[in-house]
Amino acid sequence: MASYSTNEFRGGLKVLLDNDPCIILENELVKPGKGQAFNRVKLRNLMTNRVWERTFKSGESLEAADVMDHDMEYLYTDGEFWHFMLTDGSFEQYAADSKAVGDALKWLKEQDVYTVTLYNDAPLSVTPPNFVELEVVETDPGMKGDTAQGGSKPATLSTGAVVNVPLFITVGEVLKVDTRSGEYVGRVKSS
């Protein structure tokens, strides 16, 4: 496996640190004019999502982590694993456990495409697209005439996610939701 030296460290680089795959967030050179150079590096541990700050002597190197992002279609769950398939035409399938799926669980809709991060060829994490379109399966009926004027209510979507929606939303409508904030964006016009 390749390795990277401190002067190649930059945001987005994936490396192995203490045997865990990490992504470099920031790399700052710290050097007295004529003295020994160091690098102060911020990394996120991709296994735990914790952010680490580590110091390196300039010239030290870290092994590259075999971490790759792939577009994959979500197929189904058997209760224990969530199954995804590469969209590159290879039909290759990967099974992600609940730890890898994490918070993406509430946005998973069959046949939609997600970013699956593979570490040593096994799913490490699943990231939903920034926006998903999901159908409302349950919400209190809105009051007649009480339209866009303020007020909101919870609505349960087909994946089980609950979002706050305006009072005029009804069961069966398809909503656009921002997965980063979990907020309602708008109704999807039915064609």
The CB-of-180 to another protein minimum distance in angstroms stands at: 18
Q: Pick between residue 35 and residue 145 the one whose CB is nearest to another protein.
A: 35
Distance of alpha carbon 110 from alpha carbon 25, whole angstroms: 32
Q: Pick between residue 30 and residue 137 the one whose CB is nearest to another protein.
A: 30
The CB-of-30 to another protein minimum distance in angstroms stands at: 5
Question: Which residues lie near another protein (CB under 8 A)?
Answer: 7, 27-38, 40, 55-58, 60
Residue 24 contacts residue 56 (beta carbons within 8 Å): no
Residue 41 contacts residue 62 (beta carbons within 8 Å): no
The CB-of-8 to another protein minimum distance in angstroms stands at: 10
The CB-of-107 to another protein minimum distance in angstroms stands at: 26
Give the CA distances from residue 44 to residues 18, 40, 66, 103, in Å, rounded to whole numbers and listed in that order. Answer: 12, 14, 15, 17
- Helix or strand holding residue 60 (H, E): none
- The CB density around residue 20, as the number of other CB atoms within 10 Å, is 16
Residue with tokens 């939303």, as numbered in its chain: 169
Q: Pick between residue 28 and residue 97 the one whose CB is nearest to another protein.
A: 28
Q: Pick between residue 30 and residue 68 the one whose CB is nearest to another protein.
A: 30
